Chain A
Amino acid sequence: MATEQSPKVSTPRDIRKEERAQRKAQRQGADAAPERKLEQVIIIGGGIAGMEATKQLLSLGYRPVLVEKEDHLGGHVASWNRLFPDMGDAQAIISTLREEIMDATIYLSTEISFCNRLRDGYNVMLSNGVNVLARAILMSTGFTLFPAAKKEEYGYGVYDRVITNADLENWFNGGDDHRIPSSPKAVGFVHCVGSRDLKAGNPQCSKVCCITAIKQAIEVKEKFPEAEVYCFYMDLRLFGKKYEDFYIRAQRDFGIHFIRGRVSEVSETINGSVQVKAEDTLSGRPIKVVLDMLVLMAGIVNNPDNAGIAKQLSLETDTDGFLRSADNILSITESPRKGIFLAGACTGAKTVPETVAEARSAALSIHNYLKNLQ
């Protein structure tokens, strides 16, 4: 993916310059009224959650300081192509948001070095040497994709025709991928890779991968109309708005075959294709098929960075491994710690609209919290 420039990145030098100018103006009793100093809020993680919260905090009159460890904003969504349920353009969503937060202070390629608690706030030292004082912090550090190679029986990284959901999105975005054949005759999707799998260390359902598999199966069928496309599922969990319509379309308009049974093993054939085995649980018979491409629906797992940050901020981890909210019904966006808020996939698998809604809710919670402190 092309590296993007953050719209307005304040370097430590800029900030020092700004502060010097302010002090000078104060000393001289400048006739122009000094600009009202806006209250800073630190946002850790510039994915869709962090960006949306930044936008809301700007419009509520704060000075958000957005810290992103990668060299670009957008998080995972920046790597996706078209989004369910309406096949919206992921890149367009990110660039619109990016424009809307031009006025925020954004540090790219930056992480938290350490933070300590002050009497009514936090002192956060960033890896670029900038020190930020704030009374509220928003954690929007998101998730990581389950490393598919861990499920050795599926052969990711070993067999040439096995890719992941993320690899496929990258290819839809125009990325090169030698593993994707030019005219596949049969393509398979494996649901629940690293999800609902106690042995893989993640008993949770990742929630978005059933619908992603169906979306991607349709997209593959659109690109390769001659290919037979199979989805191997344990359950189809299609909870969201219009998701069932996707399923019906996949069956009716694209003839995608849904086979209820978890793929048990994948092996390479002599000509480099892969053979998968499963049980066709609806008929109680073993089933096998040779595929020219196999897509693993890698699940959503906790971002390992969260453990380190959580320790410094005395946050807790919930029993599912994600960050723990103050309450999982009424206060998802509040942490049990005063002044620390949570939004997006750092508390569990979320869709984009859910993430955006949480980011807005978190911004409002922060606003109310700060207002009540005064």
Chain B
Amino acid sequence: MNFGFSLSPSSAVNLDKIDLSLYHKMEEIEPDVRICIGCGSCSATCTGQPFSGMSLRKVILAIQRGRENEAREMLSGCMLCGKCTMVCPRGINTRHLILSMCRYWDGEDHGYNLMNEVEVKI
């Protein structure tokens, strides 16, 4: 079917072309990430959310859609308080997931810092 007009390509996700290597890394670190249902409980309870717009739901989704930069930027608003782990209905160890992802990025030395690490340094 072709209706003769198409959507702006800039924001579109093309599942054939996206790079899922980071998602596969995430699955390796915390296999339970696969069972996320996108319910948003983590985001609703998030301590960082009001300050930085942090949403773990969106971080997971961004990585599933190959949007690494978006995920990293957002994750920098996490304070590792662990509230999200308490509310996740699928029992995902979200805090461990976040921490491991950050360590993974740190290992790559992308100059990434967690908010709380920044605070410690100050």
Contacts and interface: CB of A to CB of B under 8 A. Distances in A.
B118 interface: no
A283 B58 contact: yes
A186 B1 CA distance: 20
Contacts of B1: 152-153, 155, 265-267
Contacts of B12: 285-288
Contacts, number: 58
A136 to B, nearest CB: 47
Given A153-B1, A280-B65, A287 B34 contact: no
Contacts of B62: 283
Interface string B36-70: 00100000000000000000011001101100000
A237 interface: no
A72 B111 CA distance: 70
Instruction: Identify the interface centre among A152, A277, A286: most chain B CB within 10 Å of its CB.
Output: A286
A242 B61 CA distance: 26
B35 A289 contact: no
B32 A252 contact: yes
Nearest to B36: A251
Given A280-B65, A283-B13, A283-B58, A267 B2 contact: yes
B104 to A, nearest CB: 20
Contacts of A265: 1-3
B15 A288 contact: yes
Given A155-B1, A267-B1, A267-B2, A248 B15 contact: no
A331 to B, nearest CB: 37
B44 to A, nearest CB: 14
A252 B7 CA distance: 33
Nearest to B38: A282
A260 interface: yes
A342 B65 CA distance: 48
Contacts of B64: 257
Q: Determine the interface band of chain A, counting residues with CB < 8 A from chain B.
A: 20 to 34
Nearest to A268: B1
Interface in A253-299: 255, 257, 260, 265-267, 277, 280, 282-283, 285-290
Contacts of B15: 186, 228, 230, 287-289
Given A230-B15, A280-B13, A287-B13, A260 B38 contact: yes
B35 A286 contact: no
A286 B7 contact: yes
A59 B90 CA distance: 47
Contacts of A285: 11-13, 65
Contacts of A230: 15
Given A265-B1, A283-B61, A251 B34 contact: yes
Interface string A133-169: 0000000000000000000110100000000000000
A252 B31 contact: yes
Contacts of A287: 12-15, 65
B109 interface: no
Contacts of A290: 16
Contacts of B57: 282
Interface in B67-110: 90
Given A252-B32, A265-B1, A267-B1, A282 B13 contact: no
B34 A283 contact: no
Given A230-B15, A289-B16, A283 B65 contact: yes
A248 B92 CA distance: 12
5 contacts: A255-B27, A267-B2, A280-B65, A287-B15, A289-B16
Interface of B: 1-3, 7, 11-16, 27, 31-32, 34-35, 38, 57-58, 61-62, 64-65, 90
Closest 6 CB pairs of A and B: A289-B15, A265-B1, A287-B13, A286-B12, A286-B7, A251-B35
